[in-house]
Amino acid sequence: MKSLPLIAMAGALVLPSALSAAAFEGKVTLTLTNKREEPQTVTLFMREGALKVDMATERGQVTSVMDFKNHQTTIIMHEQRMYMVQPIRQDAQQHVQENVNKDFPPDVHVTTEKDTILGYDCTKIIATGKDGVSEIWITDQLGQFMGLAPGGAFLGGRRQVPPQWETILKGKDFFPLRVIVRNKDKQVSRMDVTSVEKMHFADSDFTAPEGYQKLDIGSMFRGAFPGGAPGQTPPPNPN
């Protein structure tokens, strides 16, 4: 199973798409499959202004909470009973929001094929690009999809670029319930939503559990790099 470095996840930028007028509130469980790794189950807890993602990693269960109203991301490490908080860069959010295209690009074909998945009416769209050919079944009954690597997270020591199909749906009031990516007729990856439950959440459902220790990431980095983190501009010499 793929390990997700925790400090790297804390630096991820996320989109303000949770503030959609058609915001869905509830729990979505999905399975991610690719040709190199075992299938992974991811649970999304969604409500207006917030997204919580639960997944198992090699370091135990990890929860990532993106609070778009307060512009912060909280990474909760249950095995260690610890959590860390990082601000969401508002300038990056604004840049992404301004560059969101509400229309599908020319290389996306909206088909006439329909299907019902988990009780939701879906339409099949086909996107062709460098990732291959993506078959995406979308519904307009669950609000916007905020992505699995929002804003391009740094995962595994490299920048994790969202797949093409995520970029296509960015900023649009559609949610994918099934995605199949093929390259030269061979399946490369697949995402299947396995359950959708509408439910209401309290504010406490999107915070770290009581008794967990808060980590100061700034202090951690200052201790590891007394002269500043690699690539960081050193402070001016007071003399």
The domain of 49 spans 6-224
Domain-located, residue 60: yes
Are the C-beta atoms of residues 179 and 190 closer than 8 Å to each other?
yes
Domain-located, residue 239: no
Closest CA to 89 of 155, 162, 6, 13: 13
Domain-located, residue 85: yes
Q: What is the pLDDT of residue 195?
A: 95
Domain-located, residue 111: yes
Backbone angles phi and psi of 164, in degrees to 5: -55, -40
Domain-located, residue 230: no
HEC string of 141-167?
CCCCCCCCCCCCCEECCEECCCCHHHH
Domain-located, residue 96: yes
How many domains does one find in the chain? 1
The residue count of the chain comes to 239
Domain-located, residue 238: no
Q: What is the DSSP letter of 131?
A: T
> 50 by DSSP, 3-state: which?
strand
pTM of the model: 0.70
Rounded to whole angstroms, how far apart are CA atoms 166 and 147?
6
Q: Could you tell me the two tokens for 107? A: 């290389």
Domain-located, residue 232: no
Question: What are residue 139's DSSP bridge partners?
Answer: 175
CATH number at residue 112: 2.50.20.10
Q: What is the residue-level pLDDT of the chain in tens, covering all 239 positions?
A: 443 333 333 333 233 333 343 467 899 999 988 877 788 898 999 888 888 988 887 778 899 898 888 888 899 999 999 999 988 765 445 444 444 556 677 788 899 999 999 999 999 999 888 778 999 999 998 887 766 644 433 333 333 456 778 878 877 888 999 999 998 888 888 999 999 999 999 999 999 999 999 987 665 545 444 544 444 444 445 55
Q: Could you tell me the two tokens for 18? A: 């949770």
